[in-house]
Chain A
């Protein structure tokens, strides 16, 4: 057990060394929502007024929807990045090389996935902090609750990324599916437009997406002043999604299967 932990630490450091050389995709996926927030804030304010949305005391700014919604949406685009970590190793032939060492598959997969998990949390943290500084977002509820919603949702997205890696044979399949899924889930979950304005055909499907529960949890804390107990349902559902994705990935993962990467 101790040996596994030491190896996991080494692998996380190694993976971070690989990823920190090219953080441009993460940077873009952090800057883009900020640019969109700047443009869409008045539109979101009007839309929320139109929908009769009363997120909390005080005047509406639009940040109540824009910041959590676009943060959730653009975090979902990082799902493809989780899978890329593994497809990249296939392209470099280092996946088989790593598998030929004494490192077990669970330690290998979890260690490699830890870096995208950290990047997802960092993306959320930057977007929420920038939302507060640049767009006047007020967080009325518990920061612990907020951190937990972000953390559990990030784990859910990493599990979804692992499922993408397990299910797809080629990197093109994985990135295409991840991008479509990100848009559909963001739309259905109320990340793109306020849930109250979803088309009537889409509204019933919203709770079937993790993004719905993430947006809901974030808005509960940010606008509704919720504490940990108030977002327990959201956390439980997100944890259930994460477990389901992870279990599916576990069932579908064939560590010895040759995957087709870019190179």
Chain B
């Protein structure tokens, strides 16, 4: 559904994406991870043609987005990171009007709007002006507008930033349902448990490049290690945890010896595999230091001024 080949984009002389290639097939959730400024938003903007590639191609449903922008965008639903809603309209009017703008016919629209509002737990506030809704409710309306037309490709850029757990569960549930119905989804986030909950394949961007990719388990196998968590008892009676990477359980005696005088404070030991968080930190650190590259033209402008 989405195919990106050798995509490179620069803002002025600063590269934002460098030779990025990836694909998302129908029914797949691709978790797009990376630190701030890694190029996640730029990549999504390139898919909807908001930024032009310096090199490489982006195709949606087989259509090159630079050659057939309208036909390609007709297949895409996009919820940017910034909430974009019409605050003077009600939640229902926002979603309904957006469905109409995206070409959903009148007969199918009422049903699609009701189903989308319901899926995102917006029934109770559907007829309230969006300006009176909470931040989490606004974000759900924002997401509902992206999904109401049931696009073939859905781009969600940090859809759960700043929301409560109930909103997060609602958004994730909706994303899972859409993927199960065959929508190809590109999901950018900083909350790594979300990509695990979505059982997403991961592309990790760092400094504009694909640093690694694969399923969560694959990434942990490839980049993770065995970790020993040592729980040490402090003078105040509280325990603190110190983690040490090891090659295997056989290294445990050496780790314990390394504690020296603190060995007497040892309250517990746990041997485990690296978490996705630790793999993320390791891969990003391996990619080199952050270079302050802007993640969008707006940031580039702000930097310049």
Contacts and interface: CB of A to CB of B under 8 A. Distances in A.
A94 B297 contact: no
Contact of A7 (B73, B103, B297): B103
A17 B97 contact: yes
Interface string B45-60: 0001111000000000
A103 interface: yes
Contacts of A102: 70-71, 73-74, 102-103
Interface in B134-176: 145
B80 interface: yes
Interface string B285-305: 000000000000110010000
Interface in A64-102: 92-94, 96-102
B70 A96 contact: no
Interface in A187-235: none
A236 interface: no
Interface in B62-101: 70-71, 73-74, 76, 78, 80, 82-89, 93, 97, 100-101
B43 to A, nearest CB: 14
Interface in A239-263: 256, 258
B147 to A, nearest CB: 13
A22 B73 CA distance: 32
A92 B84 contact: yes
Given A7-B103, A11-B101, A101 B86 contact: no
A18 B88 contact: yes
Nearest to B97: A14
Given A18-B88, A258-B298, A100 B101 contact: no
Contacts of B102: 101-102
Contact of B48 (A10, A13, A100): A100
A94 B84 CA distance: 5
B20 to A, nearest CB: 19
B88 A21 contact: yes
Contacts of A21: 88
A66 B51 CA distance: 51
B88 A97 contact: no
A14 B100 contact: yes
Given A11-B101, A101-B102, A18 B78 contact: no
A7 B101 contact: yes
Contacts of A96: 50, 80, 84
A55 to B, nearest CB: 44
Contacts of B50: 96, 99-100, 256
A86 to B, nearest CB: 14
A25 interface: no
B84 A22 contact: no
A92 B76 contact: no
A256 B301 CA distance: 13
A136 interface: no
Contacts of B48: 100
Contacts of A3: 103
Given A18-B86, A92-B85, A93-B83, A10 B100 contact: yes
Nearest to A9: B100
Contacts of A93: 80, 82-84
A97 B70 contact: no
A222 to B, nearest CB: 38
Interface string A98-119: 1111111000000000000000
A94 B49 CA distance: 16
A10 B80 contact: no
Give the one of B78, B82, B103 with max A CB within 10 A: B103
B78 A100 contact: yes
Nearest to B302: A258
Nearest to B87: A92
B13 to A, nearest CB: 19
Nearest to B129: A21
B295 to A, nearest CB: 14
A13 B298 CA distance: 31
Contacts of B78: 97, 100
Contacts of A94: 84-86
Max chain A CB contacts within 10 Å: which of B73, B85, B101, B103? B101
Contact of B93 (A6, A17, A99, A256): A17
B85 A101 contact: no
A13 B109 CA distance: 16
Contacts of A17: 89, 93, 97
20 contacts: A3-B103, A10-B101, A11-B101, A13-B100, A14-B101, A92-B84, A92-B85, A92-B86, A93-B82, A93-B84, A94-B85, A94-B86, A96-B50, A100-B48, A100-B50, A100-B80, A101-B73, A102-B103, A103-B101, A258-B297
Q: Can you list the 7 inter-chain pairs with the closest CB atoms, starting with the nearest?
A: A93-B84, A102-B74, A97-B84, A100-B48, A10-B100, A14-B97, A102-B70
Given A10-B101, A17-B97, 13 more contacts: A3-B103, A7-B101, A7-B103, A10-B97, A14-B100, A92-B86, A93-B82, A96-B84, A100-B48, A101-B74, A102-B71, A256-B50, A258-B298
